[in-house]
Structure 1
Amino acid sequence: MGTARTRLPGITLRDVAPTDADAVMRLLADVNPGDPDAFEDVRPNLSLPQEGPLSHFRNLMVVALSDAGEILGVLIGGVPLWLFSHIGVDPVLAHRLAERIATITAVAVLPQQRGRGIGAELVRHSVRRFTRAGYGLLTLNCFPELESYYQGLGFTIMDDLNVSLGPLNPVQQQWGDTRVAARALDRYTALVDVPGLSSPVVSGILPNTSLPRGTYFDGERLWP
């Protein structure tokens, strides 16, 4: 299990090990005091074997460590679950998209360690890992107070996520309590502004899904 250096003195990153489980769960609970059990579904993943293409197959779980080995922060990411419940995405397509679209579900840093840039280092590391693993888009649900933070890390903030699944055939995913932050990771994927839509459309995430030039939305459907 290798480690990755950061630009922060005395801070390294490494993939989560099973022995980290209790510390990671305490950290996730500490940063979410209103609902300390919100991330209990993460616990089974912490014991998964380490294997590619990410840290734990299609999950990315990384901790930030001090020189003394104390866990100061954690990032959890992986497959967007909405892909498998969206009525516009059939199961075969969902599995294809799950290899191209990733989401960060949690970034947590010890309260006394915040402001040092540990969370930003974890996010930048995840961008590199997802990119190397062949993903085209990285997303996360973003609360208003963090929008400028994620914009500074290269993300675009949108009201909803529109994904082109072929010429003039998009699907849309919305979250009621947050906006979405998205970042394209490769040269095939782009966030395209479409006249008539308030949020960009993810173009080129799969072969033959790039939007034609001049596409616009008339209030009901896309047109070339």
Structure 2
Amino acid sequence: MLCLTARLRRSSAPKPVGAVFASFPDWAHEHPLTREDPALSELISRTAIVIYGLAVTPHRRRRGIARALLTAAEEKARSTGYRLATLIHQPELKPFYERLGYTSAHHVTIPMPHAALGVTQPPPFMTAVNALHPGVRIRTVPGAPGPVVTGLPPGWDIRATRFEDGELIA
């Protein structure tokens, strides 16, 4: 679990004006593929992090605090070996997260050695993903319902892929 707070430096009694919370993704243990494969669940828990909350007090917004918190959380995750940052957000926040380097969609596919793991958010929510490691790529694949994340398992990259009838064809 990661929790970072932002405080104003010039205050004599600095109160938090923002916070970010992150941990391993619930789907690392709850997805049908990972429930049957403890090693896969453990791998995802060590390589993907979910930002569960990013908040800034209303009167302090639009000052770069959220960006600084998210960047600090990503740096902390990257330094401990995480390869992918994910978060769930409402559609109106898509431009904000895209400016910070995230790719947003209702469905994200993550190919694994034996199957493709799909992460889908029910409308109106969306999943945003951002590579934290140079070996991780977020790609547009013909026919895919959303972005495809390759390289989450180290060394696992699919170069030529397409989707047919809802299945990833490598």
1:143-162 matches, within 5 Å, as 143-162=90-109
More strand by share: 2
Unaligned runs of 5+ in 1: 1-58
Q: Which has the larger radius of gyration?
A: 1
Partner of 1:16: none
Aligned to 1:75: 20
Task: Give the Å deviation of 1:208.
Answer: 4.5
- Structure 1, residues 113-167: CA drift from partner, whole Å, max 9, x if none? 1121211110111121111111110010121111000000010112212111126
Q: Letter of the 1:70 partner, please give it.
A: K
Alpha-carbon contact 1:166-1:208 (below 8 Å) kept:
no
Distance 1:179 1:220 in 2: 19
CA deviations 1:160-204 (Å, max 9, x no partner) are 12111126x211011113111100111111112211113121111
Q: Secondary structure, in 3 states, of the residue corresponding to 1:80?
A: coil
After superposition, give the CA deviation of every residue in 1:49-99 in whole Å (9 maximum; x if it has no partner): xxxxxxxxxx11000011222111110011111111111112221111111
**Contact 1:166–1:210 (Cα < 8 Å) also in 2:** no
1:196 paired with 2:143, answer yes
Q: Which residue of 1 aligns with 2:6?
A: 64
Task: Return the alpha-carbon distance in structure 1 between the equivalents of residues 146 and 56 of structure 2.
Answer: 30
Q: Which amino acid aligns with 2:121?
A: W
Tell me which stretches of 4 or more aligned residues in structure 1 moved more than 4 Å.
none
Inter-partner Cα distance in structure 2 for 1:216 and 1:128: 32
Name which of 157, 160, 164 aligns with 1:210: 157
Match of 2:57? Answer: 110
Matched, 1:139 2:86: yes
1:176 is matched with which residue?
122
Which structure has more relative contact order (CA 8 Å, sep 6+)? It is 2
* Partner in structure 2 of residue 85 of structure 1: 30
Structure 2: runs of 5+ lacking an equivalent: none
Q: Secondary structure at the match of 1:99?
A: helix
Contact 1:191–1:203 at 8 Å: present in 2 too? yes
Alpha-carbon distance between aligned partners in 2 of 1:223 and 1:82, rounded to the nearest angstrom? 23
Relative to 1, partners in 2 of residues 1:156 and 1:120: Cα closer, same or farther, differing over 3 Å? same
Identity within the alignment, %: 27
